Amino acid sequence: MSARSFWRPGKGQSRAAVYSFLGLVSWFPVIASFNLYVAEVTRINGKSMYPFMNADRDSILRRDVCLNWKWGANRDLERGMVVTLRSPTQPENIAVKRVVALEGDVIRTKAPYPVATVMVPAEHVWVEGDGPPGTSLDSNTYGPVSKQLITGRITHVLYPFNKFGPLEWRDHKRPLVY
Amino acid sequence: MVFTHFRARPFHLTLQTFKLMCAVHLFQTHVFAVGATSGPSMCPTFAVDGDWVATDMTHARNRRKELRIGDLVQYRIPILENADGIKRLVGLPGDYVCMGTPGERGEDQMIQVPEGHCWVLGDNLTASRDSRIFGPLPLALIKGKVVARVLPYGQSGWLHNPLQSAETSQLGS
């Protein structure tokens, strides 16, 4: 086989098919890296961010689809941001929560946390779901979480279309720090 | 020839290099990686400087459920930004571990490692930043299991778990 035929497949159709398949496969690592480190389209499961997300969860099975921005997700966090993180208690699960307090903040905890007030330690954040206490497995159960567990930020809503656009996490009315 | 092909197409060369870099990076973060260690916390297993180790990344987050007490794990340090550490696994979820340092105040305090966490310690307890400082380590921060020493050349080889499981016959006698 001459070198030229390696780079420019011959007339054989099966060989052309193999090369086009290899050309397709060679893009998989690029797409996987993009989804891991830059952005990914994520579907929100569960009730922990209700009613901010999955607002129709009581009437239909539709789940919100969001853009999960991963680049520099655990840098320059602000109170109120909606982030995805690996659950500290279930390593294979990705959770969606709201950052409620940053390092150094003193937070008043909710049930079932055993202590009334907590100061969030260095490089950690306090995350909570939006629903009423007891509807979300969050920092009130497992305590402050390391920023290293945060995998991304929810920046845009893609579906349903009536909510399409940037996620207005700043406008969400909620007592963030007591 | 390959060379003439890419010389005529510089953009194609850049693109193929980028694709290759992505593939190599994914291999190093999800399958296998070799890297240098530094720091005194794992003396005498690893020297303060100059040791290179190989890590099996398929054990990330303990997803294969094969990590055992005594294994060496590479993890993201929970109290630092984008820094990795290598420590020895001392407790898995549900285990009771000593929170303090033997011979020091607080050595009798115990904790049950919570669900989804583990307890890691350095071999050199007097100079180690480990679970005694940052508490239980979420398994989600574990990147892989250190399986071999690569350098220095004379000491290279597989690293074996030094703990042997107790034989039931020994317990019975």
Q: Residue A90 has what pLDDT?
A: 92
**CA-CA distance, A64 to A56, in Å (whole number)?**
9
Question: In whole angstroms, what is the distance from residue B58 CA to residue B74 CA?
Answer: 12
Q: Which residues of A touch B4 (CB under 8 A)?
A: none
Shortest Cα distance, chain A CAs vs residue B142, angstroms: 9
Residues in chain A with CB shorter than 8 Å from the CB of B111 are none
Q: Which is more confidently placed, B134 or A13?
A: B134
Is the pLDDT higher at B93 or at A178?
B93
Report d(CA B149, CA B151) in Å as an integer: 6
Query: What angle (nearest 5°) sits at the alpha carbon of residue B107, between those of residues B105 and B112?
Result: 140
The region of weakest confidence among A171-175, B76-80, B139-143 is A171-175
Q: Does residue A77 have a pLDDT over 70?
A: yes
Under 8 Å CB pairs connecting chains A and B tally to: 76
Give me the catalytic one of A26, A47, A97, A147.
A97
Domain boundaries, chain A: 1-37, 40-166
CA–CA separation, B123 and B13 (whole Å): 47
Where do we find the tokens 């929810």? A154
DSSP strand pairing (A145-146 vs A124-128): antiparallel
CA dist., res. A97 & res. A127, Å (int): 6
- Is there a contact between B141 and A146 if contact means CB atoms under 8 Å apart? yes
In order of B44, B78, B84, B132, B148, the CA distances from B39 in angstroms are 11, 17, 12, 17, 18
Tokens 């709201």 found at? A98
What is the C-alpha to C-alpha distance for residues A161 and B103, in angstroms, rounded to an integer?
63
Please determine, for residue A176, whether its predicted confidence score (pLDDT) is greater than 50.
Answer: no
Q: Is B119 helix (H, G, I), strand (E, B) or coil?
A: strand
Arithmetic mean of pLDDT, B90-97:
93
Is residue A91 left, alpha or beta, with left meaning phi > 0 and alpha meaning psi from -120 to 50? alpha
Check if the beta carbon of residue B73 is closer than 8 Å to that of residue B142: yes
**Which one of A29, A74, A88 has the shortest CB-CB distance to B23?**
A29
Q: Check A11, A20, A48, A70 and give the catalytic one.
A: A48
The verdict on B4 touching A (C-beta cutoff 8 Å) is no
Give the model confidence (pLDDT) of B8-41 as tens digits: 888 888 999 999 999 999 999 999 999 999 999 9
Query: Does domain B31-160 fall into CATH 2.10.109.10?
Result: yes
- Rounded to the nearest 5 degrees, what angle is found at the Cα of A155, between the Cα atoms of A124 and A131? 65
Rounded Cα–Cα distance for residues B173 and B171 (Å): 6
Best probe of the A interface among B2, B17, B22, B112, by most A CBs < 10 A, is B22
> 3-state SS string over chain A?
CCHHHHHCCCCCHHHHHHHHHHHHHCCHHHHHHHHHHCEEEEECCCCCCCCCCCCCCCCCCCCCEEEEECCCCCCCCCCCCEEEEECCCCCCCEEEEEEEECCCCEEECCCCCCCCEEECCCCEEEEECCCCCCCCCCHHHHCCEEHHHEEEEEEEEEECHHHCEECCCCCCCCCCCC
CA A50 vs CA A46, A65, B66: distances in Å: 8, 14, 37
Mean pLDDT (chain A, rounded): 84
Q: Angle CA(B89)–CA(A124)–CA(A115) in degrees, nearest 5?
A: 90
Average pLDDT in the A84-109 region? Answer: 91
The reply to whether residue B81 touches residue A32, judged by beta carbons under 8 angstroms, is no
Residue A147 with chain B: CB contacts under 8 Å: 81
Q: Tens of pLDDT along B45-60?
A: 898 988 999 999 999 9
Structure-model confidence comparison of residues A11 and A19, the more confident one: A19
pLDDT category of residue A58 using cuts at 50, 70 and 90: low
Based on the number of CB atoms within 10 Å of its own CB, is B28 exposed (0-12), middle (13-18) or buried (19 or more)? middle
Domain ranges of chain B: 1-30, 31-160
Q: In Å, how far is B158's CA from the nearest CA of chain A?
A: 27
Marked catalytic residue, from B65, B87, B128, B143: B87
Burial class (CB in 10 A: 0-12, 13-18, 19+), A63: middle
Domain A40-166 is in which class? mainly beta
Question: Could you report the per-residue pLDDT of A144-165, keeping only the tens digit for each?
Answer: 999 999 999 999 999 888 888 8
Give yes or no: A97 in active site.
yes
